[in-house]
Structure 1
Amino acid sequence: MSERSQETDAFADVCNQLRNHAYKLTPQRQTILKIFLEQGSGHLSAEEIYQLVKPHYPDIGLATIYRTLDILADLGILQKNDFGDGRSRYEFSRRDEHHHHHLICLRCGSVSEFDDDLLESLETMIAKRNKFKVVDHVLKFYGYCSKCQEELKRDV
Structure 2
Amino acid sequence: MTDAIASAEKLEQALRADGVRITRQRAAILKVLSESADHPDATELHRRARELDASVSLATVYRTLAALEAQGIVHRHSFEGTPARFETADLPHHDHIIDIDTGEVVEFRSDKIERLQAEIAKELGYDVVRHRLELYCRRKDQD
Note whether the superposition's TM-score is higher than 0.5: yes
Q: Percent identity?
A: 31
Aligned AA (1:81): H
Cα RMSD after superposing both structures: 1.9
For residue 85 of structure 1, report the CA deviation from its aligned partner.
2.2
1:126 paired to 2:123: no
Map of 1:33-72 to 2, 5 A cutoff? Answer: 33-40=30-37, 42-72=38-68
Q: 2:59 and 2:32 mapped to 1: Cα distance?
A: 17
Aligned length: 143
Aligned AA (1:117): D
Instruction: Give the one of 76, 80, 91 matched to 1:80.
Output: 76
For residue 81 of structure 1, report the CA deviation from its aligned partner.
0.3
1:32 paired to 2:26: no
Q: 1:36 and 1:46 mapped to 2: Cα distance?
A: 10
Instruction: Give the one of 124, 138, 141 matched to 1:144.
Output: 138
Extract unaligned runs of 5+ from structure 2.
none
Alpha-carbon displacement from aligned partner over 1:1-47 (angstroms, at most 9, x marks no partner) = xxx5222222222222222222211221211111122223x100001
For residue 138 of structure 1, report the CA deviation from its aligned partner.
0.9
Aligned AA (1:80): R
1:10 paired to 2:7: yes
Q: Which residue of 2 aligns with 1:19?
A: 16
TM-score (norm 2): 0.88
TM-score (norm 1): 0.81
1:91 paired to 2:87: yes
Q: 2:89 and 2:100 mapped to 1: Cα distance?
A: 24
Query: Larger Rg: 1 or 2?
Result: 1
For residue 71 of structure 1, report the CA deviation from its aligned partner.
1.0
Where in structure 1 do 4 or more consecutive aligned residues deviate above 3 Å?
none
SS at match of 1:80: strand
1:113 paired to 2:107: yes
For residue 125 of structure 1, report the CA deviation from its aligned partner.
1.2
